[in-house]
Structure 1
Amino acid sequence: MLNTDDLRTFLTTHDIVAEIISLPVHTLTVIDAAKAVDTSPDRIVKSLLFLVQDQPVLAIASGTGRVDRRQIAAHYGVGRKRVKLADATTVEKVTGYAVGAVPPFGHIQPLATLIDPGVLQMPEIYAGGGAVDALLRISPLEIMRLTNAIKLDLHAAEDEDA
């Protein structure tokens, strides 16, 4: 399994302006992560792996909201039931990282990536840092540069079941 050392190597190799912050606590929830780095929860982003007709797609969205599978399905022209959140085993197999630690890039294979436009409005965000006790501080524009992510409204409305 990949870890923060692998992510650090990726950052150096690709001249990425970012910082891996090692924390004394696990950051398995958005609230925990925000408290650990003394920031607001909306600056914490999640990198979620979905399977769209069994093909992996990474969705980068604000940690405070739910991702709407219908938006992903519509983008790929498939039914909502063809879009599934990957299980922990699949996440590790496809990205190399454990659930809760997945960074937005540096995976064991290149991934199609979607990013919510709301993430791009912030000058700096915190994402998975390769371990549950690490976060990656980075500009969302740097994520766009590295992943060629497609901007897509991923936010689910409050009453929707994503």
Structure 2
Amino acid sequence: MTPAILFLEQQKATFTLHPYECTSLDDFGAHAAEQLKVPPAQVFKTLLTQGEQGAVVALVPASGKVNLKRLARAAGVKKLEMMPPAKAERLTGYKVGGISPFAQKKRLPTVLDASAQAFPFILVSGGKRGLSLGMTADSLQTLLDAVIADIAE
């Protein structure tokens, strides 16, 4: 039971668990998609960015990457850069490859790529390597008070 699952249960959110065997040491989103037999565009990785105004979480498809300029615009900040992995782990309480957008140590502004709305459900990290959560983009947006914008490339 991860903090992300506990949070979703407390919120009475509708979600599904998707465990898989994680043998990857990088590109965890693509690995999850392969193991779970879903398109990489339907698996969303949780990326941490930072700027002068603080940290911002980006949720983008495993098949792409985040466009930092578009993310900054969507978050209403001047400039963002990728956060070093060790800092992301300290800030969220999760290990890289298992960083969930839910129940992080501190609630951070979150931007979900608009492509999520094309799927009946998307997968995000469940809070540890080898565990994904399935839910609708609308549920995710509501639970995280996320902004939806075109941030992936």
TM-score (norm 1): 0.84
Query: SS where residue 93 of structure 1 aligns?
Result: helix
Question: Which sections of structure 1, spanning at least 5 residues, go unmatched?
Answer: 157-162
Query: SS where residue 15 of structure 1 aligns?
Result: coil
1:100 aligns to 2:94 (yes or no): no
How far is 1:54 from its partner?
5.2
Residue 125 of structure 2: aligned partner: 128
How far is 1:91 from its partner?
0.9
1:20 aligns to 2:17 (yes or no): yes
For 1:22, give the aligned amino acid.
Answer: P
1:145 aligns to 2:132 (yes or no): no
Residue 84 of structure 2: aligned partner: 87
Q: Give the number of aligned pairs.
A: 150
TM-score (norm 2): 0.88
Higher-Rg member (1/2): 1
Query: SS where residue 145 of structure 1 aligns?
Result: helix
**Contact preservation (8 Å) 2:2, 2:128:** no
Q: Superposed, which structure 2 residues align to 1:110-125 within 5 Å? A: 110-125=107-122
Partners of 1:141 and 1:64 lie apart in 2 by: 21
How far is 1:18 from its partner?
1.0
**Contact preservation (8 Å) 1:105, 1:143:** no
For 2:44, give the aligned amino acid.
Answer: V
Question: Which sections of structure 2, spanning at least 5 residues, go unmatched?
Answer: none
Partners of 1:83 and 1:103 lie apart in 2 by: 20
Partners of 2:22 and 2:54 lie apart in 1 by: 33
